[in-house]
Structure 1
Amino acid sequence: MSQISSTAIIELALDLASSLNSKDRFDRLLDTVRKTINCDAVALLSFHGDILTPIALQGLSRDTIGRRFIVTEHPRFNVLCQSKQPIRFAADSPLPDPYDGLLIDREDDLPVHSCMGLPLYYEDKLLGLLTIDSLTPHQFEDISERTLIVISAIAAATLNTAFLIEQLESRADHSQRVVAELTEEAWRRDGGELIGESQIMQQLKEELTIVANSDFNILIYGETGVGKELVARTLHHKSPRQHGPLVYVNCAALPENLIESELFGHVKGAFTGADKDRAGKFVLANGGTLFLDEIGELPLAAQSKILRAIQSNEIQPVGQDKVEQVDVRIIAATNRDLKAEAESGRFRADLYHRLSVYPIRVPKLQERVGDVQILSGYFVEKTKRKLGVVQLKITAEAIKHLEQYNWPGNVRELEHVVSRAALKARARQKGKAIIAIEKQDCGALINLQSAQQEEGKTTVKAVTNISSVQADINLRAETEQFQRQLIKHVLLQENGNWAATARRLSIDRANLNRIAKRLNIKVIKSII
């Protein structure tokens, strides 16, 4: 006989609430059941796909934990799984007991004994069973039905909590592995290695090795097309944050009215169109690296908000009163002279100093003596895979032709030239096993000598004109005026086609758009 007091039930609930993990909860559950109900064996089984799996047990042989009970093959389990109420089997029940021969104290068949099972339901879903056995017949007859229902509810809640925590931990672990895998995959796909053996590139690699292990904010600067994004990814990959996210933000492409929302997130109803909560880039990069490309294009108002986030590691989503803590390393990149911009008031000086804890300059391709050939080989192999050709090579004459060019578009321009040349070479050499990129495939590139000659002629003209210049002159204003006139002139010749204009000016289209925006140059198309 066994009576269970309300005090024991309360102690059971409190004991389970203080448990730290699933195994601990299960063990405490069985301990408490054995303390309050005189029994020889107790087991907790989870139910999934018509199979009962033991997940915690006491009084049964350890090999029981490895068994998987198919419900339809065990009549007592079958009865329990079809019931929503605790069931006490008669001491002389003819139904075979699934634990025959498994009790620690008995190696042979079970004699007449007490057996009961508690189906564990949560929101009408069967989660598993709690089985209790005693070698003493009629042991459980005096326990009230209500008491068993309460124990069932507590055990079901314990099991459900454990399952939820397990799912959350699994999802968190899965998300972390996905982030790491995507970061690694992007690293391999986009070329994770800084290609080049020139002295200036060796110095850059040494700098990256020195600073990567720190948590310093980094400002990467250099001309368009030199590989600033690759440098940022290299820093992240070499840092202790390498398994965390690397979140990319193109500051030049952020709409001014949505910058704050994009960076810091917003809550539902914060503004028109905010129909749900949204995490910003700082939150997405938590525990990892936030790469702010083209940081110099941010308006001053947005710069002040980023400054606060960098200073205090705190953000405030739009429409939310509470401040959130973030752990983010900032890597910024620009093709502008931010120091000069800060001195002239076009960029916040305090933000510039926060970002440039360790400034890194990426050299122009023209400065990387001997690297054109190495990079060409890299891009040839990359293009070969894209085109699906058996073999692709580049001739010595073509390499010499490429080395004589001054590469205003830097590494990006070299990649595009090699890609176009490969297409032309493949078209000329159909059916050949080995396709060779020759000088003619690379197009008419202006070599350094010609460029220097042209530069000399321009200098003579400039000197002639300079003699008539007034004493006071603003170099930046004059330079911008010249850029404005030149871009407008070529745009008119190309009928407002930005892509064609960018090609004519040997500049990346996105960079041309940014310059045009700064110079207030617009193409207005009208329908008559």
Structure 2
Amino acid sequence: MVINTPMDDTLLADLVTDLPRAERLQRLVSRLRARFRCGAVALLQLEEEQLRPVAVDGLVGDALGRRFVVGQHPRLAAILARRGVTRFHHDSSLPDPYDGLIDEHAGEPLPVHDCMGIGLHVEGRPWGALTLDALDVGTFDAAAQAELQRLGVLIEAAIRTTRLEAEIRALRLARGDARVDGGGRDEGEIVGQSAAIGRLLHELDVVADSELPVLLLGETGVGKELFAHRLHRLSRRRAQALVHVNCAALPESLAESELFGHARGAFSGALSERPGRFEAADGGTLFLDEVGELPLAVQAKLLRTLQNGEIQRLGADRPRRVDVRVIAATNRNLREHVRDGSFRADLYHRLSVYPIPIPPLRERGNDVLLLAGRFLELNRARLGLRSLRLSGAAQAALHRYRWPGNVRELEHVISRAALKAMSRGVDRSAIVTLEADLLDLDGLEAPAPPPAAVPPTAAAPADATTTLPPLREAVDACQRDAIRQALAAHGDNWARAARALGLDASNLHKLARRLGLKG
């Protein structure tokens, strides 16, 4: 049953207020959850054959990183199949996509509950869906369904407004206005909401439409190839090819031929003419991954191509013109390689006209949980599980770990943990929870320094009279200290403190009240 206060005015107010995309849509789902007094609300955008959560309220922290393949979730498919409201009876046999993911019952099978949703359309085309779950049977009665049907028009208007704002921002970017706020971008498969990723995506948007060479800098596993694809997709060359070359995999004897091609008879085995990667990328973009691995002789020819736009096939007499934008990437410190003579200084300066550092995962805050959610859903589908989630201790372990292998390492950790759980004989129809020990992060951490030696005179005698506090009191004291430190680090902002601690904001408030930190 819905409350009596209409929310039309608040939704309309948001439509005419200048808000970042994420904030507008988050306000929308939060107000709908309060309006319908339900346990969770999710707004999901349709991308080909899967639904991507863009705003949620009442679901676990990693929900925004998940992707729900429509064909694997019959409730979501049923909602998308019709224009009106779809309600599922409390004893429906159809599996719920959020089983184990409702914040109040994380890790538990959903009890008998109400569920309804509505398919959303923008400009006459399917856009996605809105879902609502209530833990009290009877919440979504006929009046609630009629109310959601009526509000559907306003919800679609909010989405349409967000899309128009994004298009205006894109137009301004195309005209060279670098002051545009990037809050409304569609991040595609780049999962993350941290400030570090937000700044990076905005910088990529600004530089993408230029013809400048770009040098992506970052540790192993940060996703340099993914960001190179984004640069190409946003550039004026997006209709042409993006050619990827892994320089580390090129044998030194064949590197020149691979990049620039060769003429017939140029070397033993060259039985015909062969174009190189530069010619394949003509009119488009060439991505030189691990560019620091190129042999010095090839570096000289690459420099000449960047300077005058010409290549010369190995064994050929005449140069050829090419129109190629180069994006390079490396996990090495090229400045040091310039100093030791293994990388040409003039090539370094040509490639690094616009260097872009990509932040490591340890600097991306709560993005680790969003990415984990993405990998959890992929493994759930791959292994045929009903639900796959992380325990609270496992989430905390992900936050503590330093991630030397970054996003790639996180993907491997989640996949390995899921397989370990399967090897222990889990029930595929149950909710599978990955505990911290399955992640095996302790074994990957650098060994801790040995404890400082304590002089014998300073050590307290260990005898039966030694009094230790009860375990619960010790845990509570530790939690109080952690919450106080998080609040102090984030200016007493509870939402930011919750993200830093890897908790849902509502759960942090509940814990703080239990520990006596809030009234």
When Rg is computed on C-alpha atoms for both structures, the one with the higher figure is: 1
Q: Is the helix fraction higher in 1 or 2?
A: 1
Q: Name the structure, 1 or 2, with higher relative contact order (CA <8 Å, separation 6+).
A: 2
After TM superposition, the score normalised by the length of structure 2 is 0.49
